[in-house]
Structure 1
């Protein structure tokens, strides 16, 4: 039987129906994307990249503690696929989670778009002209990094992120601390990757911002769908061989 991602860390509500778990993923992804992109758009001129990195970590921690016991607290298609590849999640439920995460992310950026549309004069047009905090490479990388650098960053760091998630939710890990470890890891990885790619690691986040980021953001979006998924699948398929010899499934 496939285990929920967080079943060794929190008491997952095994009685939760699929619609309830989908609702939890919509809410958690809404919180995550709304928190990080809202900070990037509205607060980063004062807080800088550190504020954005802290925002995403805090959002993950809050979401995992709030609804992780219901859905496993993925909030990210790459995490869902990595968990399934490791045997921690049922492949049959992957499409439902991925759709829920995309919806949650899109709802979050839509709310931010509406807030910005009633903001100071010129704010919305400035946000759109700046890509609406979308991910990018080349001219659309915050520090001008190229495509190869961005792909390496997104694949490797998403893989690292999945190894951490699978490790701290392992049945042998200390209980109760997984959301903290995952959130702080994501903060650390954002500090590395924001200058390079604007830090995705999450296709739902990238899709959500590209919707309002303009044509260039949509053209480059494929990188931030493919690269995080590749990194997550590498980690998911190799975790048990590297760190856990017990057969799952």
Structure 2
């Protein structure tokens, strides 16, 4: 249960900062702090794409995967409610009109793949040194993919951000849920590809 609570807390604050500012560095630094806070409790996924990759690596069970994803989505939904309370506006995500669906999907898949590869590479080998560097590496990577990917796809890379906010927007009468499929399937695909490639590249090092 502690792991699920930590995942909900992490997703809550990640979405909160995401909603308050579009600044990639602010989001990346927040993610870095949250990873250091939660790494020894839950592994600090805060992202269904990351949790699915860890499940495919057999590091968490199917029951834990369901619990992690549920906690992350609850955290995102509650954060969307907090943003509405604090700003009196509904936070939701839209892809930019300057790109098409294929470009947006490519960016979401590709950059999520890169981020999940970093999480796997720094999380799975058990050493104190990895704990010291995982937050920094993941935070800087997420900053980088936000800077590169936001102009193409809107820069989500995390279904907890899209589903939680889309659900709150739907309950408020909005229709941002039409983009939830893109922001869910593409990151999950990216995370799954990362899990497969990690197994191929590092199978002899386990």
| TM-score in same-fold range (> 0.5) | yes
Change in CA separation of 1:172 and 1:28 when aligned onto 2, cut-off 3 Å: closer
- Is contact 1:159–1:231 with CA below 8 Å preserved after alignment? yes
CA distance in 2 between counterparts of 1:91 and 1:237 reads: 17
1:178 corresponds to which of 124, 134, 137: 134
Aligned to 1:200: 156
Question: 1:51-200 maps to which residues of 2 (within 5 A)?
Answer: 52-117=23-88, 124=89, 128=90, 132-136=91-95, 141=96, 144-171=98-125, 174-175=129-130, 176-200=132-156
Q: Which residue of 2 aligns with 1:240?
A: 199
Greater radius of gyration (CA) = 1
Cα shift readout 1:30-50 (whole Å, capped 9, x = no counterpart): 11111111113xxxxxxxxxx
Compared CA separation, residues 26 and 178, structure 1 to 2 (3 A)? same
SS of residue matched to 1:145: coil
- The SS at the match of 1:244 is helix
Deviates more, 1:98-107 or 1:211-220: 211-220
Q: Are the equivalent residues in 2 in contact too, given 1:82–1:235 (CA < 8 A)? A: yes
Write the deviation string for residues 119-143 of structure 1: whole angstroms up to 9, x where unpaired.
Answer: xxxxx3xxx5xxx34032xxxx1x6
Cα distance in structure 2, aligned partners of 1:163 and 1:244: 14
Match status 1:212 vs 2:169: yes
**Higher share in helix:** 2
| CA distance in structure 1 between the partners assigned to 2:30 and 2:94 by the alignment | 19
Q: Is the CA contact 1:169–1:178 (under 8 Å) kept in the aligned structure 2?
A: yes
* 1:93-150 deviation per Cα after TM superposition (whole angstroms, max 9, x unaligned): 1000000000001111110101112xxxxxx3xxx5xxx34032xxxx1x61110000
2:33 and 2:54 map into 1 onto residues whose CA distance is 20
Looking at structure 2, the residues matched to 72 and 135 of structure 1 have their Cα atoms a distance apart, in angstroms, of 29
CA shift, 1:158, in A, is 0.7
Q: Would the aligned equivalents of 2:6 and 2:41 in 1 still touch at CA under 8 Å? A: yes
